[in-house]
Structure 1
Amino acid sequence: MGDEAAAPGITVEKVVHTYPLIRHTDMSEEMRIEAVELSVTACEKFSSNNELAARMVKESMDKKFGPAFHVVIGESYGFEITYECTTICYMYFGGNIAVCIWKCS
């Protein structure tokens, strides 16, 4: 499919990141590391069910850092949120899975 639009003799390669790619965060180092590790584990464990992956991350973050975390995991979504400073992380995993974690007070 992707090669049809390319000029003859040119190959088109799709880059898929196998590591988490953080787009934006203002979390503390400890919270960021925990959020990334939880997200990777959840996305790998529940690769076919983003809702269960998001629930796992939310419950773990609530236990460790206090309640009112929100988590969205999926493809092709946009968002505009209000969040508590130093509690947001927006990242990609597996190429096209976006993970957004934030806390509201």
Structure 2
Amino acid sequence: MAALAQEPEDIKDMEAFLKMAKYPLVKHTDMTTEMREEAMDTCITAVEKHHADMEKCTQMIKETMDKKFGAPWHVVAGGYFSYDITFECKNLLYIYLGGTTGVLLWKM
């Protein structure tokens, strides 16, 4: 019976989370403002377009960043991962989109 009493509150919490999750959450970055905005726009577009296929999503992000800012860019996208990488200073972005999709973008 107690679980039934908690359901409406859990639903309200989930609705609040999904409302908040509409905006990208930057977990870590050292990019310049201009580069970060370009990278975030690219990531948002790719995740919205290829949300069911992370391989296509990462390929789109990598190719776009390689063209705009020179190669080699690397991308990891998905629901559950951690990282320990070497990267060029001022070339790292780690964001969450839609609340559950993480995108890690860096240049070596």
Same fold (TM over 0.5): yes
- Which structure's residues are more often helix, by fraction? 2
1:43-79 C-alpha deviation (Å, 9 max, x unpaired): 0000100110110010000001000100111011111
Q: Identify the residue that residue 91 of structure 2 maps to in structure 1.
A: 87
Ranges in structure 2 where 5+ consecutive residues have no aligned partner: none
Q: Distance in 2 between matches of 1:88 and 1:38?
A: 14
Tell me the residue number matched to 2:55: 51
Partner of 1:76: 80
**Contiguous gaps of at least 5 residues in structure 1:** none
Structure 1 vs Structure 2: percent identity of aligned residues?
41
RMSD: 1.7
Inter-partner Cα distance in structure 1 for 2:36 and 2:89: 13
Task: For residue 41 of structure 1, report the CA deviation from its aligned partner.
Answer: 0.3
Return the TM-score normalized by structure 1: 0.89
Report how far residue 36 of structure 1 moved. Answer: 0.3
Aligned to 2:69: 65
TM-score, normalised via structure 2 length: 0.86
